[in-house]
Structure 1
Amino acid sequence: MASKRAQGDCFKSNKNKKKKKLNNCEETAELCSVVQDENVKQAVKEAWSQKSNYTHGDLELDCHPFPHCTIKNFIRSEHFLENVQSELLALNFHVKSNDLYKFQQSVGLRKRTEPHIAGVRSALFTQFRPWLEEVLNVKLEPHVDISCSKYEYTDVLLCHDDELEGRHVAFILYLVPPWQSSDGGFLDLYQTDAHVQPQSIVKSIMPSWNTLVIFEVSPVSYHQVSEVLSREKCRLSLSGWFHRPTPERPPSYVEPLVSRIEHLPRDETILLEWINPLYLDISYQEQIQEKFEECSEIQLKDFLREEKFNQVREALQLAQIQWTRRGPDNKRRYDTACMDNLPECANACWELLRSEAFFLLLSNFTGLRLHYLCPADDDDDDETKDEEAAGASNERREKSEPSIPKCCGELRRWSHGGYTLMHDTTQVEYALDLLLPFCYAEWNAEFGGYTCYIAKEEDEELLTINPEDNSLALVYRDKETLKFVKHINHKSTCDSTSSRFYDFSFVYYE
């Protein structure tokens, strides 16, 4: 009797395990009828190969600015998709933020066993992939690349082309609540110029529940997710890529180097006129240099004389200044001033930062050789320098002729939507960065607009500089250091007094 009871208990236990396994098994997702229609598939294949548009029911192929296809009601069962949404929202999400994006991403979905997540993954990579292979006339790899992204208020993914080894077709399946244009979060598509650089947004696709968007990854597939402007709604989506060996791409366009200029012949009179007397004191300059050599950066508050700073700040708002949008969007987006029609005081400030006297002052602040009066490094001093500084010194000695200190600079206007990406750092070399901001209220770091320095191949920030009125920032960077200006988000528009700021941005070379 005891033996029989043990067998019965064992059977009950195995039965429960089997039931649990069945509950965790993959749920089957059925794709919409338009994908299963053989005639539609052949029509899409022909249109895609000829780069012509095609529409049938819930499917639309549009080849401008590059071929992309939207399929509404992609999954037949609304109930199934609601369960997918519930399982996704139960996952752990991690904030991802750098120069290019800010959003939340789930843990990896490639091996998730939740029944509806597994079902939609199978629908895409088992059922839909053969359809894609026939439409595009390619053989796609079985590799699964899928994740879940959650965009909330002020989240954004800036302009990029998705090109990365093996990526061939990108897909996005939207799981959003009823969406309006005022909510933002569009998939913006760019047309490109003669240099295959993004020129302008020519189409915006609004997220819509159970809509799949696909496009081929190519040198012209520039797109972005515009900033989400809704404080209540969540832009949830499944996205990833279908893979195949990457075909050979044409060389990327290389922008012309920014022209470097020598100093203007201005004596110390210009320093006495413009700069806070504290910073002209030799003993204080020695303290600044000591701190700078230790940290490779410094911020000098109240740098300009107050009356001069206020004059320039007011002048920067005058209508006579002509501002030009600087791009392209895969590298930067801000306004730069035309130097030909600056107000007199703004032009005088520009000349200050280019003057011979200011080059010498920077030498005194930093110990860099930005003027011929700056003493050369002694051998004893070289022994005490760190490896990076020694490398820079050796590099200078290898030149056949002594270099002439030069600079390049801009007067920039920053407002909602402005940013630079790390691609903007085209001249990767030793240099001294200077920033002199002009704000009209205290700038909140939550708005973005701060300048961030990071080491190559690293995500951790080395230094962040927030725009601060009349605070001169000096940063010495080496070949392994990159910088970007963080995207200025919608929060900056909530207070009209602080919706924009200006800065003089200069780079000095020994």
Structure 2
Amino acid sequence: MASKRRPVESVKPEKKRKRKRSCEEPAELCSVLEDQQVKQTVREAWGQKTACTQGDLELDCHPFPHCIIRNFLSNESFVENLQRELLQLNFHEKSNDLYKFKQSDDLKKRTEPHIAGLRSALFGRFRSWLGEVLGVELEATVDISCAKYEYTDVLLCHDDELEGRRVAFILYLVPPWEDSDGGTLDLYTTDSNFQPESIVKSLVPSLNTLVLFEVSPVSFHQVSEVLTEDKCRLSLSGWFHGPSLERPPRHIEAPVPRSLHLPRDETLLMEWVNPMYMDISYQEQIQEEFEENSEIQLKDFLQEEKFREVREALRLSQIQWTKRGPPNKRCYEAASLDTLPQCLSECLELLRSEAFFLLLSNFTGLRLHYLTYRMEKPRGLHPNHHQRIRAERKSRAYLCVVVKCVDGLLADTHCCMMQKQRRQNWQSEFGGFTCYVANEEDEELLTVYPEDNSLALVYRDKETLKFVKHVNHKSLSESADSSTRRAFYDFSFVYYE
């Protein structure tokens, strides 16, 4: 009996797996990082919070520990190619209350040879070196992006705090840079409440220099406004992740004291307010529009003569201006009330008077005064468009009132929100506008620009936040005197319902 044989299976030659060719260009780091004695010296100095210098490496502990490593990448051609690859990336405009600059997407998956090579070196060999210096185990988390700061770009005072961030770093890839170009990394001292006070050190960007510092309760810093119009401040920055340093409880500022209206009658209104706003039928029209849009600007609000007096009074040298902080929360100059000339004191009295409370009630329909003529209440700024009304009204709403005077004298300092200026029309590119945003959202609900003799009324609830945008160097006048700049004064009040 013939036996059955299994059919012979044809054996196909095994295909060789193609190895994925690596396009990564190795990054050679500064030789000082290979020296074990240097590593030990830096570790001891960091632990004892003392300064030390080892070749291209400098450690300083004032106002908080930070390390500067010059010539971080030992190959000049690598640096040039890295710059070229970074400049070819897509950059996105980033702008809010804290900053204005352009930023790339996260670079953790970029495959350009020099970007990939630097990323491997930073989060490989250098991460191990840094972990040994700090005496902590840093995670392999890759957190790195590229930023471009150009004319008037800025990153205001902050501490980098976010869960998991342990060490911040910046690698500069800039052309020859001077202090006068701006864009310095400014380091702040802090007070007993761990709040930033003043800038005590400014680091000028330098090509192929790495700066790093631990993220801590006192690591307040900023990127000062870029003042040069023909240079780009290009940098790579990110964070090494690890166990966070212990943080004290958040400092809570004392609430601003509230005060009752002053018992003044309508005679004060007649002396100061444009007569057309005293007309009852016109007040009803204003109230209807305010109820619909939750905001309105009333132009030429003060009588022309009174407004002229106010504007001229603001030029008087007797007024004492004090800078308000802390700089991570606010930056403007406030007038000392006991130094105000009579005209300005009367204007403030107007805005705090019982008669003005009643007038605002008639403008808005809010019960700011018990004699209010009341229509339907406004419903707050809509999350998608400020001319739409909310479906449901929030509790504890309040009215923000700002009377702006776009005029003044010579500037004392460029970073104040209330600076002195020549009379000029205000332009949006100067900054200085008030922006309203929904809590934990980036979308603008409303933007109010400075305008002469304009009463801006905005109804907002506890879910709506506001900020005044940094006044930048485009506000400099075109005159030969570079110390003259545009800016504005305002009288700002919050009235609670």
* Count, aligned residues: 463
For 2:110 and 2:391, locate their aligned partners in 1 and report how far apart those are by CA, in whole Å.
Answer: 47
Deviation at residue 498 of structure 1 after TM alignment: 5.3
Contact 2:400 2:459 in 1 (8 A): no
Deviation at residue 251 of structure 1 after TM alignment: 0.8
For 1:291 and 1:221, locate their aligned partners in 2 and report how far apart those are by CA, in whole Å.
Answer: 47
Q: Which amino acid aligns with 1:162?
A: D
Q: Which amino acid aligns with 1:442?
A: N
2:190 to 186, 192, 196: 192
Contact 2:297 2:456 in 1 (8 A): yes
Q: Which amino acid aligns with 1:156?
A: V
Distance 1:306 1:503, change over 3 A: same
Contact 1:260 1:406 in 2 (8 A): no
Q: Deviations over 1:339-362 (max 9, x none)?
A: 002111111111000000000000
For 2:439 and 2:87, locate their aligned partners in 1 and report how far apart those are by CA, in whole Å.
Answer: 34
Quote the residue 2:305 is aligned against.
307
Write 1 or 2 for the structure with the bigger share of helix: 1
Deviation at residue 495 of structure 1 after TM alignment: 3.7
Contact 1:260 1:407 in 2 (8 A): no
1:228 to 226, 229, 244: 226
1:110 to 108, 113, 122: 108
Quote the residue 1:158 is aligned against.
156
For 2:417 and 2:150, locate their aligned partners in 1 and report how far apart those are by CA, in whole Å.
Answer: 19
For 2:49 and 2:485, locate their aligned partners in 1 and report how far apart those are by CA, in whole Å.
Answer: 46
Report whether the alignment pairs 1:448 with 2:446: no
Contact 1:438 1:469 in 2 (8 A): no
Distance 1:287 1:37, change over 3 A: same
Quote the residue 2:117 is aligned against.
119
| Residue pairs, 1:68-147, within 5 angstroms | 68-147=66-145
* Unaligned segments of structure 2, at least 5 residues: 1-14, 380-388
For 2:226 and 2:120, locate their aligned partners in 1 and report how far apart those are by CA, in whole Å.
Answer: 30
For 2:403 and 2:30, locate their aligned partners in 1 and report how far apart those are by CA, in whole Å.
Answer: 54
Distance 1:348 1:151, change over 3 A: same
Contact 2:296 2:458 in 1 (8 A): yes
Q: Which amino acid aligns with 1:476?
A: Y
Quote the residue 1:459 is aligned against.
442
Distance 1:378 1:448, change over 3 A: closer
Contact 1:197 1:328 in 2 (8 A): yes
Q: TM-score, structure 2 length as denominator?
A: 0.88
Quote the residue 2:386 is aligned against.
none
For 2:149 and 2:226, locate their aligned partners in 1 and report how far apart those are by CA, in whole Å.
Answer: 7
Report whether the alignment pairs 1:482 with 2:480: no
Contact 1:32 1:76 in 2 (8 A): yes
The alignment partner of 2:83 has SS state of helix
- The ranges of structure 1 where at least 4 consecutive aligned residues each deviate by more than 4 angstroms after the TM superposition are 375-379, 405-415
Contact 2:422 2:486 in 1 (8 A): no
The alignment partner of 1:203 has SS state of strand
Contact 1:438 1:503 in 2 (8 A): no
For 1:322 and 1:264, locate their aligned partners in 2 and report how far apart those are by CA, in whole Å.
Answer: 24
Deviation at residue 124 of structure 1 after TM alignment: 0.5
| Residue pairs, 1:272-287, within 5 angstroms | 272-287=270-285
Q: Deviations over 1:401-420 (max 9, x none)?
A: xxxx9999999999732359
Quote the residue 1:181 is aligned against.
179
The alignment partner of 1:48 has SS state of helix
Quote the residue 2:344 is aligned against.
346
For 2:78 and 2:423, locate their aligned partners in 1 and report how far apart those are by CA, in whole Å.
Answer: 52
Q: Which amino acid aligns with 2:360?
A: L
Quote the residue 1:500 is aligned against.
487
Contact 2:156 2:328 in 1 (8 A): yes
Q: Which amino acid aligns with 1:475?
A: V
Distance 1:467 1:407, change over 3 A: closer
Deviation at residue 493 of structure 1 after TM alignment: 1.3
Quote the residue 1:271 is aligned against.
269
Deviation at residue 501 of structure 1 after TM alignment: 1.2
For 2:248 and 2:404, locate their aligned partners in 1 and report how far apart those are by CA, in whole Å.
Answer: 34
Q: Deviations over 1:261-317 (max 9, x none)?
A: 111111000000000011000000000000001111000000000010011001001
Q: Which amino acid aligns with 2:72?
A: F
Contact 2:400 2:460 in 1 (8 A): no
